[in-house]
Amino acid sequence: MCWLGSIILGGAIGTILHHSAGLALVPSVLIGGFVMGAGGVIGPGILCRARAGAGQGASAVAVPARAAPVSAAPVVTPAEAAPASAPVKEARMAPRVSGPSGPHDAARPVSGLDAALARAQRPQAEPAPEFLSAPRGGRADDLKLIRGIGPKLERLLNEAGVWHFDQISGWRARDIALVDEKMTGFHGRIARDEWVRQARDIVAARKGEG
């Protein structure tokens, strides 16, 4: 059941990243596969630990503890008790480190999956999209070649600093959201008309011709 849920979740995430966020097919498949593998590896471990804990609790309730026989406590002199208490003062608690799957002992080695999840949760600085004050070389691309862009949208893009296809082809989800805010009256057209994919096709075709 854990692997089935992981496969469904990984496929859904990959599909959303590719079709809705405009992410390329290969990165979408890799991210979906990573989520699928992580869920399949982590899920069974969590379920097994939960079942083992429930079984131990049930056995503890079912079998009452036997009372230990009462024996006379030996008399310990202060001189004999002092050496035993010395190591207690020197004992130190092992530090606990919080990881993506919860706190764990620092002495326990971190697995490759834990390290990958930790890297994925780290905030990464993404470069802002390239905005230009004027077209390169004084010649702007005809952005109307992208299906869904008309004269008004082209003018809005130019005012936002977008003049060339290679600018649009490099947009990610955050960049699309940033530019979409400036498309007054045309919100949502970037993703709906797949501007990024069309721009990448045009850039690739021009490189092939060159």
Residues near 164 by beta carbon (within 8 Å), at least 6 away in sequence: 132, 135, 136, 140, 141
Domain range for 120 is 1-56+111-124
Percent share of the chain, pLDDT over 90: 34
Task: Say which range, 56-60, 148-152, 197-201, 206-210, has the weakest mean pLDDT.
Answer: 56-60
Cα–Cα distance for residue pair 209/33, rounded to 1 Å: 35
If asked whether residues 149 and 119 sit together in one domain, one would say: no
What Rg value do the Cα atoms of the chain yield, rounded? 31
- Quick check: is 64 in a domain? no
Number of domains in the chain: 2
If asked whether residues 147 and 120 sit together in one domain, one would say: no
Task: Say which range, 1-5, 62-66, 110-114, has the weakest mean pLDDT.
Answer: 62-66
Cα–Cα distance for residue pair 164/202, rounded to 1 Å: 11
Given this model, what pLDDT does residue 167 score? Answer: 95
- Quick check: is 97 in a domain? no
Pairing of strands 96-99, 102-105: antiparallel
Query: How far does Cα 34 stand from its chain's mean position?
Result: 10
Instruction: Point out the domain boundary residue: 124, 156, 181.
Output: 124
Cα–Cα distance for residue pair 121/89, rounded to 1 Å: 38
The position carrying tokens 């990881």 is 99
If asked whether residues 149 and 115 sit together in one domain, one would say: no
Given this model, what pLDDT does residue 191 score? Answer: 94
pLDDT category at 13 given cuts 50, 70, 90 is confident
How buried is residue 196: exposed, middle or buried, by Cβ count under 10 Å (0-12/13-18/19+)?
buried
Is residue 168 pLDDT above 70, yes or no? yes
If asked whether residues 115 and 162 sit together in one domain, one would say: no
Q: What is the pTM of this model?
A: 0.41
The answer to whether the CB of 129 falls within 8 A of the CB of 171 is yes
